[in-house]
Amino acid sequence: MSLVNSRRDMTPFDMSRRPVRQNALLMPLIWAVCHVMTRKMGLVRVERRGMDIKPPYIVIAAHQGFPDYYVAPRAMFPHRANFVSDMEGFAAFGNELYRSIGCIGKRRYTADISVIRNIQHALFELHQPVVIYPESRHCDAGITSSLPYNIGKMIKFFGVPVAVLTVHGSYLASPFWDEERTRKTRLTAKIELLLDVDGVRDTSEAEISRMIADALEYDEYAYQLENRIAITDRPAQGLHLPLYKCRECMAEGDMHGEGNTLTCRSCGAQWVMDEYGRLSRNGEYIHIPDWYRWERAEAEREADGSDISWRVDVEALPNEKGFVPLGSGILRHSRDGFVLTLDDSREIRVSSAAAESAQTEYNYRGRGKCIVLSTKDCCYYCYCKDPSFIVTKLEFKAEYYHRMKRGMICE
């Protein structure tokens, strides 16, 4: 199916349209496909703990990579479910088909009361479980992405049992920075009741948020090493996308991951990645998540709130009919958020206070790096080939400015 909106129809997606039950006729096919695909990845069974509950309930799911989409329906069996999903799926598969498999539309990092109402409808009118991926994206470096600070408030509002679905091996099989191919690895999955109705009622919003954060915490490189999962097929191919800063000379944007090596083109420093996901240089090992956390700390240290800008090519995704080319513009980022000024003088603003993170893509639709700005009515995909356009660093700074604006850290 083409993803081009040939009629350039900018009518916003109808977020108010109520979700439907997963089509009963499609479910045997969906379960069969998911079973076959996950078995190929080594998932023998999904471990279940305390899941002798009946709908409605909410499942909070980790989101490491593309294989998660196959794991979740298998984990929910024999219950049909509704899934909160981003807009790309509706454009890729079509509105009616995507709705028929239970999807509820949402734009990432935007607040929309329609989404809450649709979840409420699925829970209490359709009497179905609802699966939510609070990380809102595939993880960059094998560790949990940032979670919404108000997730406990949402659970308290609905007042239904909450379970957690965790997966190991999904990121290793299909890391965000090299999703063009799936690596042969091993998946494990567990779905576990976190709180029943009484537990939700008697637990504070903050404590629920903390419990969910603890349950979703993962480190896939530690898991790989502990379980001796060997990956030899170009394990560092594309690793420079999350690990963009050299630890030797501090240059940014000059790293290059190819085969099993990560090299700084500025100073020549080189790290070799072994079959168990460890990077080494001169006999010393560096844990990939530690490198990623160090970059985050460096980006936050340098975040002085000043305005930085790039020339970008822009596409809009207003609805399920596909992408509309909007030409070029200037994308600016500062302490206050993102401002996109198109060449026709239209201006799109996304404030730091409103968006807890930024949707980043490393090679979306084969077009390279991009930042996605989402408003209530449209998603704007901003592509740039400038080496200084480092989307991982922008993600770090966007999250830092959001916490600053929310009063979570001092300026």
45-91 per-position pLDDT tens digit: 899 999 999 999 999 999 998 889 899 999 999 999 999 999 888 98
Residue 323, pLDDT > 70, answer: yes
The yes-or-no verdict on residue 409 having pLDDT over 80 is no
Q: Sketch the domain layout of the chain as residue ranges.
A: 27-226, 308-405
Report the share of the chain in percent with pLDDT over 90. Answer: 83
SS3 label, residue 36: helix
Average pLDDT over residues 332-346: 96
Residue-level pLDDT at 1 = 43
Domain 308-405 has CATH 2.30.29.30: yes
Q: Are 190 and 147 in contact (CB under 8 A)?
A: no
Give residue for tokens 């830092």. 400
Question: What is the model's pLDDT at position 410?
Answer: 62
Query: Could you tell me how far CA 103 lies from the centroid of its own chain?
Result: 16
Measured distance CA(363)–CA(371) in Å, rounded: 11
Rounded average pLDDT over 267-289: 96
Please state, in angstroms and as integers, the Cα–Cα distance from residue 394 to each residue in 26, 193, 212, 300, 399, following that order.
40, 36, 26, 10, 9
Q: What is the pLDDT of residue 305?
A: 83
Q: Is the pLDDT of residue 283 over 70?
A: yes
Query: 381 near 368, Cβ under 8 Å?
Result: no
At 310 the pLDDT is 97
What is the mean predicted confidence (pLDDT) over 107-132?
A: 95
Residue 411 has a pLDDT of 60
* Average of per-residue pLDDT across 99-117: 93
Q: Stretch 293-310: mean pLDDT, rounded?
A: 94
Q: How confident is the model at residue 180 (pLDDT cuts 50, 70, 90)?
A: confident
Question: What is the C-alpha to C-alpha distance for residues 287 and 222, in angstroms, rounded to an integer?
Answer: 8
Tell me which DSSP letter residue 252 carries. Answer: B
pLDDT at 301: 95
Tokens in use for 95? 């509105």
Q: How far apart are CA 215 and CA 309, in angstroms?
A: 38
193-232: pLDDT as tens digits: 999 999 999 999 999 999 999 999 999 999 999 999 999 9
Provide the pLDDT confidence category of residue 2 given band limits of 50, 70 and 90: low
Predicted structure pTM score? 0.93
Residue 359 in contact with residue 109, Cβ under 8 Å?
yes
What is the average pLDDT across 127-149? Answer: 92
Does the pLDDT value for residue 177 go beyond 70?
A: yes
Give the H/E segment covering residue 269: none
Tell whether omega for the bond before 56 is within 30 degrees of 0, i.e. cis: yes
- Give the span between the Cα atoms of 170 and 62, in whole angstroms: 10
CA 178 to chain centre: 15
